[in-house]
Amino acid sequence: MPERTDRSYDLSAALGVEETAALPPGTSILLSGPAMTGKDALVSELLADGVGHGEGCLLVTTAGDGGDALGRIGDRAASGSSAVDGSLLCAVDCLAGSGRTEREFDDGRFVYSVAGPSAFTGMGIGITRCFDRLAGGGVTRARFGLTSLSTMIEYADKQTVFKLCHVLTQRLASEGFVGAFTLNASAHDTQTVQVIRQAFDANLELREHEGRRQLRLRGMGSSPTDWQPLPE
């Protein structure tokens, strides 16, 4: 298990995997598995966990309204206590369909919208805007989530999406943030999944087994962890 440092990130509360208790800044993880195994919800959980500890949140979403998604993350982070600082919450909404627009909510949440899941140039601009806002607010630690790479692959070939992943993971490394990206593995052939995996430091696999959702981690040690229940 990696040694805990002042700069490392602890994702174990959200992911339930001890090997993620001390991730070096810049680590990026691919969450893969069949549909309906809780990948996107797990990303929301780890983002909310970070916000609850004063870390920034940057969500790239291809499904649903980015502002609403940030609102749910903020509510989960607050968990009955006082409201969180909305300026920690940023999103790039890739399902807007209305071109590049910006929205800032009264509570500080910020959403940059692009035309769709294949608008990679606009997406990059939006991500940079979000990074700049977090930096301008004094945020030095943040978690990044992207849901879902599978939607992007519907609009672009796997090599183009791999290049996007590589650019984003390198950007996270330079910023010292951590990232989690989701992929519906059952929607793609084995070669596509293997190509996408190469862009990440580790792969958190999810499955349903005997009526229960389980996960295991590959890439943080010499062998995969054992399958274990998904955190409730």
Tens digits of per-residue pLDDT, 111-165?
A: 999 999 999 999 999 999 999 999 999 999 999 999 999 999 999 999 999 999 9
Domain locations in the chain as residue ranges: 26-220
pLDDT of 1: 46
What is the pLDDT confidence band of residue 168, given thresholds at 50, 70 and 90? very high
For all residues of the chain together, what is the average pLDDT?
93
Residue 163, token pair as written in the block: 């290049």
Cis before 148 (ω within 30) = yes
Three-state secondary-structure class, residue 15 = helix
Work out the percent of the chain whose per-residue pLDDT is above 90.
Answer: 87
CATH superfamily of 26-220: P-loop containing nucleotide triphosphate hydrolases (3.40.50.300)
Q: How far apart are CA 58 and CA 35, in angstroms?
A: 23
C-alpha torsion 213→216→217→218, nearest 10: -120
**Omega of the bond leading into 12 within 30 degrees of 0 (cis):** no
Tracing tokens 């499904």 back to the chain, one arrives at 63
* Number of other CB atoms surrounding residue 94 within 10 Å: 28
Task: Dump pLDDT digits (tens) for 64-81.
Answer: 899 999 999 999 998 756
AA letter at 79: S
User: How far, CA to CA in Å, does 21 sit from each of 51, 127, 138, 159, 175?
Assistant: 16, 26, 24, 32, 20
Q: What is the pLDDT of residue 220?
A: 81
